[in-house]
A and B are shown apart, each in its own frame.
Chain A
Amino acid sequence: MIKLVISKDFTETPGARFIIEGSYSGEEFRNDFLEPKYLEAKIKKEKLVIDFDGGYGYATSFLEEAFGGLARKYDEKEIKEVLEFKSDDEPSLIFDIIDYIKNARN
Chain B
Amino acid sequence: MKCHINNLILIISGIIVLNLFTYNLFFNSDFLIIPIYHLLNLIVAILFTFYFVQKRTDDRKTKEVLEDLISKIQNEIADKESYNFFIGFDKKVILQKIRRVRNKIFLLDKFKDKFNITEEVEYISKNFDEYRNDIGEKIEDTNYLINNQKKYLKYLSLIDDKCDQLRIKLYQ
**Interface set of A (CB-CB < 8 Å, partner B):** 13, 15-17, 21-22, 56-62, 89-92
Determine the main DSSP class of B at the interface with A: helix
Shortest CB distance B145–A (Å): 11
Contacting pair A56 B132 (CB below 8 A): no
The CA of A89 and the CA of B100, in the complex, are separated in Å by 9
Give the number of residue pairs across the A-B interface with Cβ within 8 Å. Answer: 51
**Interface set of B (CB-CB < 8 Å, partner A):** 91-92, 95-96, 98-99, 102-103, 106, 132-133, 135-141
Shortest CB distance B133–A (Å): 5
The CA of A57 and the CA of B102, in the complex, are separated in Å by 11
Contacting pair B136 A92 (CB below 8 A): no
The CA of A104 and the CA of B96, in the complex, are separated in Å by 26
The CA of A81 and the CA of B82, in the complex, are separated in Å by 38
Contacting pair A57 B140 (CB below 8 A): no
Known contacts A89-B99, A90-B103, A91-B103; decide if A62 and B136 are in contact (CB<8 Å): yes
Contacting pair A56 B95 (CB below 8 A): yes
Shortest CB distance A89–B (Å): 7
Shortest CB distance A44–B (Å): 33
Q: Which of A15, A57, A62, A91 contacts B98 (CB 8 A)?
A: A57
Shortest CB distance B115–A (Å): 20
Shortest CB distance A30–B (Å): 16
Q: Which of B102, B133, B139, B141 contacts A90 (CB 8 A)?
A: B102
Known contacts A90-B102, A90-B103; decide if A60 and B133 are in contact (CB<8 Å): yes
